[in-house]
Every structure is written in structure tokens, then in C-alpha cells.
Chain A
């Protein structure tokens, strides 16, 4: 089903998506409507234009592809499905996401992947092709974040205060330049086994955006993990 988003409010647009019987939905002329696909299930949404904030919040089993840039809070607390962005994303992408995938061809703004979690078989993934702003993966509690730094080889592709408060999950950064990270996070050179572990993720990214996965993988990666899953245990004394 095709939807022309021109002059539709976000509420009208979401109503149309929800009430549509077909799985595949193509939205044209998107112009900043917010909350598209919020809490959506069982759809395959393709968007031309620019979706507004909170695209795919609380997403469950649902795929969203954007042929352009997206704004803030993409995939807030998403639970399943895949969001593919053929451009850049704004701030706070993947906040608190618990499962599913966010694949961004370009770069991400500040606070990407904050408080990403995981639980049992639920393991979210976020791959950013370009660079990210400050506070990447603050309070990360689970899942995998991969920053490829394509086109930013001369600098560290993540901003300051990366992984502050990280207490779970893992992050890979493709770069020769060590990222800024706090003491309670371990930053080491990724080993061959690590590269093998992220190979399927990078292959997925490469396939979506037309890159050569082996070429991307044939580079130096930093691997960031928390030193302990209870970093604040010694912060408090009972009174």
C-alpha cells in the first residue's frame, strides 16, 4: 500500500499505517511526522523523505527503511524488528532498545545507544557506518554497538565520554585512534575471534548499503567491555 504523507498529521499517518491490511507500506513525501510506527507490529514500512522524531519507538516485529535521514530518538525502547536508515540519524538513537537492529549508513548524533539492554535471547544490535557524537552508549547494559567510521579514518569516529557508566554489552569501534572512555570500561584491540563474532553484523550492514564486508573487517577495531557488571557496587555504604 502506498501512502502520500503530504499534509497528513502524524496521528492521521499512523492511523493509516495501523489500519492498513497490507504488510508492505510505502510512505512518500514524508516531512517530519513524528512517532511513525510507534508500537507497530507486523509491517514493512518504506519511507521516502524525512521522518520526524521517535521513529519506530517501542517497535516490535516490524521493519522500517528510510531512504534519507532520520531525526532524533529513532527506535526508542524498541523491542524487535529492523530499522534501516540510508542517511544520518539525529540524537538518542536506540535509547533503551532491548532487541532488534538499527543500521545507519551515515553518522549518528549525540547519545546513540544509551542504555541499550539485553535479556536472554534478546540482543539488540546497532551499526553506525560513519561517526557518532558524544556520550555514545552511556549506561550501556547489553547488546552490541558497532561504529565503522567509514570516511572518518583520520580521527576517532566517536565523540567524548563514550561508554560512561557502561555495565553490560559490548562495543566495537573500527579505528586506529583509541576512544575516550572511563576507567571502569576495558578498551582493547579486537582479536581475530572478535572480528569473527561481528562478521555477520558487518555483512548485514554491507549488504544493505552496498559495501564489501571483508574490506570493512580488514581493519583495526577496538573492543569495549565493562570491567564489571556492577560498576557502582562500592559507591554506597548502608546508613
Chain B
């Protein structure tokens, strides 16, 4: 319909001198971009269906393909940009809410890139991680604040339940349903080999994965999907999801068409029905109510497992975290607004929440100020993109970080941001058996192990350079950080000095 016309976002460039018409691209593209036209005797493409996932480019045996941004554009305006115009057309055509996936692509400040790390020179010399022990093991949970004695006068050495991580990195929540079974298996196996944890997300735990329980964090969200006693007891920790950085204040919605047999079984809902997680937990309207849910799962698991409460980074995050720390939670996970998602309304993803860097600094500062920092561990999430981001997060006050998008990248994701369509050509964010098959867990798990091992080496190197030999000594050590190009206010919130100071 001409009135609803907008140009394709991408253009598929095919070098016909190179194309041998093997039709591999046609077979591989779940978006049905490529087809062979018998009349013309050549391969053609529906550019408007292309999401730039780079699958065809990567498999074309002759290197004949290239995907480029479409140069055909509406008249330029810095105010009414082309995406805004096409979105208005889409909504005028459907009357529907815009749905997107992965982290916001908008140009918001990335504070990680405006923070520089310190290194030792001359005095307090660097430590060589290849030669000297460098502790990256961390424990998450409550820390004892005072000595306790038993009735008979002996020292009470019992500790609150905790998680032990060999590396300060865990895999963040991604539900089975939003990602494929093969992707889940890869994460579970990698977590086991690395001595860290992956997170089921809110979609329940597939029966095949109970054996990775010792490296699993099971999540309880407002929809309570797949939550039952055995599930709660299967994991090493239980995470109560109050919010997600990419979509604070709203729930989740896995459309009926993605609820195939196996997903339905794991979530324990009928096949083909929508899996709706309401925006709030309908039994939580206060910190006191949150405490109730925390203790109901603690009772159900006999106080053997730490409870994580995951909150989205929003304006009042420090006050909220203070409440959560007093609610009985053992660990708080804070998810920044640049974090990824399998599906979120575009406007929410792109406009709601605050960056993890500021949220983390504010929370750590507040909990210290109130003298309750040892009551909880803090896990930072929502766009920890590389090892130096992780180091900066720890120096800003995190005990460990959650990563998800880098894990997806390790498994082959090319960040085409179309997970919500369920047609991921890399076999990750899909439930189509033909597509899921493309992700080989034997390879993917190994790549995940590689990624985290490499990051861990880098973390050790950076710490060594600072003359620090344990994560414990780095945690909250803001003297190791300097801002670059930041305002007074930003420096004040981050609690760091400017470079040169």
C-alpha cells in the first residue's frame, strides 16, 4: 500500500560473477529473503525481509553476498529520523505496540567508556599473574557481621548459604522459550566447566538439565512458570525477578506460537497459549511482601539456598536496593537499562531505566552509608560487554557480574535484534527445530568456556597491573577508577575522581 511505504532497512548485494546458484542462502534464511527466479535464471532477494543477521553472508561458499544499509532514504532530519517515520507507518498500519529485542541501540552515554583504570608504577609494583597467585574466586551471599556463639559457649562457625564462583562472571537469566534448548544446554555445560552459574530465566527448568543443578540459578518471576518444589530445590540459588533492565515496570509475554510442546512442558502450561508474566508480582506491593516471598522459598528449600532478588535499575534504585537488602535477600542483582531482552516494547526498552554504572555506584554507596553492605552481595548486569567493563563494575562495588549478550555472541549471535520474531537464523532465539539444530551445543559450550576463560585472564592481568591480587581487594576500590570527560555531577554519583586528579 503506497501510503504505508517505507524503504527496506537493508539491501542485499549479490555479486552475480561469483554466485554459483547453489541456493544455500535460500535454504538457510528463515526470513525467506533469497529465492531463485527460474524465468530470469538467477538468485533474487526480498530486501525488505532482511534483518542483517549475516547468516547467508557467512555460509555463501563463494563470498558473493554483502548486506548493506539501504541508501534509499527519506529526506534527512535530525528530529524526525527515518526510524521514527517508519515506526509511525507501522503503527498506523496496525494499531499495535512496537516490539523489539536485544539492548537499546540508541546513542546513550556508556559510562564504562568514560572510566579509566589505574596501574601501578615504581611503588607498589604490579603483580605478574603468570607467576603469582591471583584470586578470582568469589562468594556471593550474606557475610557474617559479628561473632556468634553456641549455647555451650563454642564459636558458631555456621555460615549463611552462599554461591561460590571460580570467576566473577555468571550467565544472566535467559528463559527456555526465549532461547533454544541447545542454547540452554550450552550455557549449563559451560557454567559447570567454568565453576560458575547460569540462570534458567522464568521459563522453568527442562528435565534434561536438572543434572546441572549445582551450577543453576532457578528463577521465580510473576508468572510462576514451571515453579514447584523440585524446581526450587534443583538449583544452587533462587532468583526472584522483580524487574529487568530492558523493560522495567512491565512483565513478559511469550506469544502462543513459541509455546511448542517442550517449552509448554517445561513451563507447565498448555501448548500454544500465551505465557504472560504480569508486570508486578500480584502478591508483592511492599518490601514486607517481598520478604514474604523470599521466606516462603527459603522455607520450601529449608534455608539451604541463597536468594537473589533481581531489580531493574530505575531512578530510585538505591532506596529500593536498601529495602531489598533488609528484606532477607542474600544477593541483589541490578540490571541496567542497556541490557538485552528477548522481546520488549520498543519505547520502554529505549526510554525507561538508568545506566548500570550509575545505578551500581549509587546502590553500593547507599548500602555502605547505611552500614548494610555486608548484608548482601551485589551482582551487576545490563551491558557488561567485556572484561574491562567487569573490572570497572567490581571496582564500582559489584561482587560479580552477569553477562548475557556476550554469551549469545559466543554462541553465534550477530545482534540482528530480531529475537522477538522467533526466527533466529543462528539457532539461539528460536524454537523451530530446523533452526535450533544449527546451534551445536558441543561447539557452543566450548566457545562459552573460551570466552569466560579469556575474560578471566584479562581480569587477572588488569588486576595484576593495579597491584591487586584478589577480586575481594578490587571490590568497591574506586580509587582504581578515574573519569574522562565527565561532569562534576557524574563524577559525584560514580564516586570517582577525574583523570589527572
Contacts and interface: CB of A to CB of B under 8 A. Distances in A.
Interface of A: 10-11, 14, 18, 34-35, 38-39, 41, 53-54, 57-58, 60, 72-73, 76-77, 79, 91-92, 95-96, 98, 111, 114-115, 117-120, 122, 135, 138-139, 141-142, 165, 167-168, 229-239
A96 B45 CA distance: 47
B299 A77 contact: no
Given A41-B229, A119-B264, A237-B96, A72 B278 contact: no
Interface stretch (B86-94, B133-141, B188-196, B353-361): B86-94
A117 B276 contact: no
Contact of B253 (A41, A77, A79, A232): A232
Contacts of B418: 238
A95 B269 contact: no
B97 A236 contact: yes
A234 B94 CA distance: 8
Interface stretch (B120-128, B220-228, B392-400): B220-228
Pairs of residues from A and B, 6 with the lowest C-beta to C-beta distance, nearest first: A39-B300, A96-B224, A237-B96, A38-B299, A239-B98, A230-B256
B232 interface: yes
Contacts of B270: 118-120, 142, 168, 229
Contacts of B278: 114-115, 138-139, 165
Contacts of B81: none
Contacts of B420: 238
B273 interface: yes
A92 B283 contact: yes
10 contacts: A34-B295, A38-B296, A39-B232, A73-B292, A76-B293, A96-B224, A119-B268, A142-B269, A229-B270, A232-B274
Contacts of A119: 264-265, 268-270
B302 A18 contact: yes
B296 A237 contact: no
B489 interface: no
Contacts, number: 151
Interface of B: 87, 90-91, 93-100, 222-224, 227-229, 232-233, 253, 255-256, 264-265, 268-270, 272-274, 276, 278, 282-283, 292-293, 295-297, 299-303, 345-346, 418, 420-421
Nearest to B268: A119
B272 A229 contact: yes
Contacts of A34: 292, 295-296
Given A115-B222, A239-B90, 18 more contacts: A34-B292, A38-B296, A39-B232, A39-B301, A53-B292, A58-B227, A58-B229, A58-B296, A92-B283, A114-B278, A122-B268, A139-B276, A141-B273, A167-B273, A168-B269, A232-B253, A233-B274, A238-B99
A234 B256 CA distance: 12
Contacts of A76: 283, 293, 296
Contact of B100 (A96, A231, A239): A239
A95 B285 CA distance: 14
Given A53-B292, A73-B292, A58 B300 contact: yes
A67 B13 CA distance: 75
B269 A115 contact: no
Given A77-B228, A92-B282, A239-B99, A165 B268 contact: no
A237 B97 CA distance: 6
A133 to B, nearest CB: 12
Contacts of A38: 296-297, 299-300
Nearest to A110: B282
B227 A235 contact: no
Nearest to A164: B278
B421 A238 contact: yes
Given A79-B228, A96-B227, A237-B98, A229 B301 contact: no
Contact of A230 (B224, B255, B421): B255
A120 to B, nearest CB: 8
A111 B281 CA distance: 11
Contacts of B301: 39
A127 to B, nearest CB: 20
Interface centre among A57, A58, A122, A139 (most CB of B within 10 A): A58
A117 B268 contact: yes
Contacts of B269: 117-119, 141-142, 168
A103 B55 CA distance: 55
Given A138-B282, A139-B276, A229-B274, A57 B268 contact: no
A98 B229 CA distance: 12
Nearest to B301: A39
B228 A237 contact: no
Contacts of A142: 269-270
Contact of B283 (A10, A72, A118, A232): A72
A103 B255 CA distance: 32
B99 A39 contact: no
Contact of B299 (A39, A141, A230): A39
B229 A60 contact: yes
Nearest to A114: B282
A124 to B, nearest CB: 11
Contacts of A237: 90-91, 93-94, 96-99
Nearest to B220: A77
A120 B273 CA distance: 13
A10 B228 contact: no
Given A39-B301, A41-B229, A95 B282 contact: yes
A10 B299 CA distance: 9
A185 B99 CA distance: 25
B282 A115 contact: yes
